[in-house]
Structure formats: structure tokens, C-alpha cells
Structure 1
Amino acid sequence: MRTSKPITVTLGKQQALLEDRLQSGAYESASEVIRAGLRALDREEAALSQIMRAKIREAIDDPRPDVTAADVFARLRARHAEGQ
């Protein structure tokens, strides 16, 4: 039993990229190209998520004292005033 359903996708300028991949023989169908693209997107999103989690953990573990919002805004106002 088929677990997927046919869909229609408008690729615009990316149509030529899909056709290039088919002509190269790297893929046998448009479906294979689309699936490969979605897998690459999943990998990219997972990598970005991992990077963000590491950055958040780094910030949480930072031993330096916290900076108050008032101090941050005072510094921003001072920096903005310097630029005028």
C-alpha cells in the first residue's frame, strides 16, 4: 500500500536545477531530488538547532556577572549618541 500521495510543486527557477540533476544521472526521478532536498534541509535545521543549543548553554554557563537591562540600554544610548 502506498504511504505517500502525489503532489504538484511549482519550482520556478529551481526547475532547471532539478532537470540538471536528472540529466546528470545522479537521480532517477524528480521525487528523488525533492526527497534529497528535504533530507538536506532536515540536516541543516538539526545542525543549526545544535549550534543554537550550544550557544545558549555557553551563555547560561558564562561565569561573568549578569548585566542589567538598564545598563544595556544606557550603553546603547551612549553608543547611539556617539554616532550622531
Structure 2
Amino acid sequence: MSDNLKELPMRTTQSLSITLPIEMAEMVKAKVASGEYASESEVIRDGLRTLIARDAAIEKWLVEEVVPTIEAVDAGRVKARPLEETRERLHARIDRMVADRR
């Protein structure tokens, strides 16, 4: 490698070309126009950070609550609930997680 290449900083961003539905594109532009964000890229980055946080919260919930519960049921330490009751409790839990993110 030449000495000139060693002196160049590594690029920490990558330019992408994306296509959004008109409503989303208008929302991005409105966020910038309002001064809430300095650029369209900042709006998208913030949205992706939120997605990353949501995915991490779901992963944490699965690891800390779902897996231990399945293991307890399999070991006979916990009685399983009827499917419909479980579905209702799961939807309520997800709704609370989503509300907490807002």
C-alpha cells in the first residue's frame, strides 16, 4: 500500500439512493423544513436508530422472558395457558412496548 493511501481517513458513511412512498418522502421533507432535523439523512438515521432500538427490545424480551417461560413449561414448572389467552396477553404486551417507545 502506498504512503498516500495510508494517510486518507476511512470513510464512515455510505451514500445510498432510496425510494420512498410520497407520504413518507413528504414527511421527511417536512421534518427538515420545520427545523427538527438538519437534513433528510438525519431523519432517516433517526428512524433507523428507532428500528434498531425496537429490535433490541424485542430480542431482550425473547431472551429474558419468552425463552425462560418456554423452558419452565417444558420442565413442568409452569402450566401452559390456552392459546387465545396467550395471544391476548402477547398483544397487550406488544402494545405496551410500542407505547413506551413513543
- Is TM-score (shorter-chain normalized) higher than 0.5? yes
The aligned residue for residue 20 of structure 1 is: 30
The aligned residue for residue 13 of structure 2 is: 4
Q: Name which of 58, 80, 83 aligns with 2:69.
A: 58
The aligned residue for residue 30 of structure 1 is: 40
Tell me the secondary structure at the aligned position of residue 7 of structure 1: coil
Shift of the 64–19 alpha-carbon distance from structure 1 to 2, 3 Å rule, reads: same
1:41 aligns to 2:51 (yes or no):
yes
Q: Where in structure 2 are there 5+ consecutive unaligned residues?
A: 1-8, 81-102
TM-score of the pair, normalised by structure 2: 0.56
Which letter maps to 2:29?
E
The runs of 4+ residues in structure 1 deviating greater than 3 Å are none
Give the CA RMSD over aligned residues: 1.9
Listed one character per residue, the Cα deviations across residues 27-84 of structure 1 (whole Å, up to 9, x for unaligned) are 0001111111110000000011111121111221340479xxxxxxxxxxxxxxxxxx
Count of residues in correspondence between the two structures: 66
1:5 shift after superposition: 2.3
TM-score of the pair, normalised by structure 1: 0.67
Q: Where in structure 1 are there 5+ consecutive unaligned residues?
A: 67-84
Larger CA Rg, structure 1 vs 2: 1
